[in-house]
Structure 1
Amino acid sequence: MSDEADAKTRLLVITAVRLASAALIGVGMAIVAGKIDIPRPAGIAFIVFGLLELLLLPPFLIRKWKSPER
């Protein structure tokens, strides 16, 4: 793959991680609000894991994929 294709793929993965995190938080909020019939502690867990994923995973991937200094 070319450098440009690698960059596009990495951007797509980071964006997908952010969207999945937001979706997880949204589902957790719907559970806590009673819109989805699942126990409330599961909703709280969804929110917590979604926030952790949103805050920790993209910076980790960015650091891992950072191009070396030339």
Structure 2
Amino acid sequence: MSEDPARNRFFAIQAMRWIGTLVALFGLLVIYRRIDLPVEAGYVIFVVGLLDALVAPSLLARRWKSP
């Protein structure tokens, strides 16, 4: 059975969404002082996580779109 590229791309996009969500949650933990890091770092981590979860999957989908 051959590997379907669409299946692999789907899983890559879903993984990007989950990883971005986890990074954003980590940033929230820093912001709310549950993890001992500077609050400013928490805001940066949170924004990067949001970009990973919301923007990166659509960029990947656009790049992998069939002609």
Fold in common (TM above 0.5): yes
Structure 2: distance between partners of 1:63 and 1:24: 23
| CA root-mean-square deviation | 1.6
Larger radius of gyration: 1
The aligned length equals: 67
Bigger proportion of residues as helix? 1
Cα deviation, 1:14-37, whole Å, max 9, x if unaligned, reads: 001000100000000000111111
Runs of 4+ aligned residues of structure 1 deviating over 2 Å after TM superposition are: none
Structure 2: stretches of 5+ with no match in the other structure:
none
Q: Is the partner of 1:34 in helix, strand or coil?
A: coil
Structure 1: distance between partners of 2:47 and 2:26: 12
Instruction: Determine what percentage of the aligned residue pairs are the same residue.
Output: 38
Aligned to 2:11: 12
The two structures have a TM-score, normalised by structure 2, of: 0.90
Structure 1: stretches of 5+ with no match in the other structure:
none
Cα deviation, 1:21-67, whole Å, max 9, x if unaligned, reads: 00000000000111111111110001111112222111111111111
Structure 2: distance between partners of 1:32 and 1:24: 12
